[in-house]
Structure 1
Amino acid sequence: MKPDKFTLHYMESHPEDAASSLEGINHEDMCEFIASLPVRHAALVIQHLTPISSTSALARLPLDIVIPILSRLPANQASALIRRLPAEKISEITSLPGLSGYIKRSLRYPPDTVGAIMDTDNLVLPVRFTISESRKHMKKHTAKIQNRIFVTDEQQQLKGFVELKEIMFANYKVALSQLVRRPNIKLSVRDRLEAIAADTVMQQTEIFPVVDHTNRLMGVVTNKDLQQAIAELSGNTITAGAVTNDFLEILDVIGNTCSDLLSNKNDVNAG
């Protein structure tokens, strides 16, 4: 199943639909197809598959394909997928030098903490910047722009945040520090997700800064990611090492059975 140019274009334009289509085929065929893709397209597919399917694919793919794919994913999503892999696969992946430092940092934290799900590759502005300098810096990192942008000093200490609209409409000579406001809520990398779930005040905020014990900005986390992680923890989430080889074989049996049933049905209809 070698992809042609039309298929690759479709995957770029409609990654969710492409991933949904792959969900319906045999896992062996799905992995073979993903392995045949350019890394950029393979990462798109993995990013939009269900956690079970993406974990199954990563567990089967060779490491020389897995590492580049993981490096193209957001660090929090990549680390979450790695945690779901069999223990031996986790050891193999984390021991390789090609794995992104952002991903390794996320893996340092327990899976039920904010540090495990934070985005460590985000846009941050130095407090010393003017509005003009801030805009120039943002143009280089357009993919990372959020509605709320956090500001740090030279030691990466969190100084506060600025709303995107304020930067867009402020005079370019104004110092960024004049617009900085302190966040009402900031999270620690060690905060437990279970404790956060009970805080109803947090529902009104879209994105939160995540700091360490010295108030150094370590990353950000969105309310959406928090709620998703909390929901997974409260359910029967697959955790690190839970996807065993037996589990993968069961997935294959289910997929093959469905294929056989469809094949038999078509034979009956044809007869």
Structure 2
Amino acid sequence: MASSEELTYAFLEAHPSDAARVLERLAPAAAAALLQSAPLRLASPVLRQMLPLAGARCLERLEDADAAGLMSGAGAQAGVGLLRYLGAERRAKLLAQLPTTLTVAYELLLGYPEGTVGAWMDPRALVLPADMTSGEALERVRRADETLVADPYVIDRNQRLLGYIELADLLRASDTTPLTRLLRPSPHRLPAQALLDGLREHPGWRESSTLPVIERDDRLVGVLTSAALQRALSLAQEAPTPHSAEDTLAGIAGAYWFGVSTLIQEIVGLLPVERREGES
């Protein structure tokens, strides 16, 4: 028979969003203890689905290395939401623990006001310089470690967006074919300072689930996915006060939730949680 710990971890893996709702109802110290004890591959997706305020309260109770590990796995969009709810000193400590590329991404996103395209874009999309050949570009795609390896965008040496390349075209092309010969236009571009509210019906979503984000002079700074937009708008609608958040989460609870949360709390009770002085 599977142990309670095995059942809990199986639940985290199979239902990260549901698990996030359960953890939001636990005391922050208890939720943090569970996130810390679970493997990162299971805990990070759950943290990604938590309300940023609830997730940040968990991170506050973890050591810098543990918190940074969870944030690395949660991704840029979720991570920047968490960082906005942390104090400046703790934020700086966590950023110092992260890989340089991720730190740059976070600092870029934090520079945009909350509720704008720039705050929710992914700055690590796959981008190719226009002076590559098709063979060089294909090798770059194969070695890509970017978050989004979809049809890559093409830029000039001033980082101006020229268009994109379909991977199918890249695979069919000769190795010596100039990349510019495969270039397709990108008519739908989102200004980084644009407000997210109102973008739900943007015509670009009918053609692609990913749209390029630009600064002045068409300088490409990232991409916005339809999934990130939907999550941002959903969080904006929830935008709970502490009391309304409790009421909303309490309303979710039912027989199923009771069983799951009881199981998780049993596991949490077995974990060695060091409580801070004065913390209940």
TM-score for the superposition, normalised by structure 1: 0.73
Query: Corresponding residue for 1:266?
Result: none
Matches within 5 A, 1:112-151: 112-141=115-144, 144-151=147-154
Query: Corresponding residue for 2:238?
Result: 236
Q: CA deviation at 1:105?
A: 0.9
Instruction: Mark the runs of 5 or more structure 2 residues left unpaired by the alignment.
Output: 264-280
Deviations 1:149-195 (A, max 9, x none): 11112222211111222212222221111111221111111111124
SS in 2 for 1:221: strand
Matches within 5 A, 1:135-214: 135-141=138-144, 144-197=147-200, 199-204=201-206, 205-214=208-217
How far apart, CA to CA, are the structure 2 residues paired with 1:19 and 1:227?
15
How far apart, CA to CA, are the structure 2 residues paired with 1:142 and 1:212?
24
Residue pair 1:35, 1:65 contacting (<8 A) in 2 also: yes
Q: Does 2:27 align with 1:29?
A: no
Amino acid paired to 1:150: Y
Q: CA deviation at 1:137?
A: 0.6
Deviations 1:63-101 (A, max 9, x none): 332223223332122112222x2xxx3313332233512
SS in 1 for 2:221: strand
How far apart, CA to CA, are the structure 2 residues paired with 1:48 and 1:34?
13
Q: Sort the Cα spacing of 1:7 and 1:50 in 2 relative to 1 into closer, same or farther, 3 A.
A: farther
Q: Does 2:227 align with 1:224?
A: yes
Given the alignment, which residue of 108, 111, 134 partners 1:108?
111
Amino acid paired to 1:105: L
Residue pair 1:119, 1:219 contacting (<8 A) in 2 also: yes
Amino acid paired to 2:143: K
Residue pair 1:147, 1:165 contacting (<8 A) in 2 also: no
Amino acid paired to 2:186: P
Deviations 1:7-44 (A, max 9, x none): 59x66x97342563475464443321222345554323
Q: CA deviation at 1:125?
A: 1.0
Q: Sort the Cα spacing of 1:262 and 1:162 in 2 relative to 1 into closer, same or farther, 3 A.
A: closer
Q: CA deviation at 1:214?
A: 2.7
Q: How many residues align?
A: 242
Q: Sort the Cα spacing of 1:68 and 1:183 in 2 relative to 1 into closer, same or farther, 3 A.
A: same
* Farther-moved stretch of structure 1 (19-28 vs 174-183): 19-28
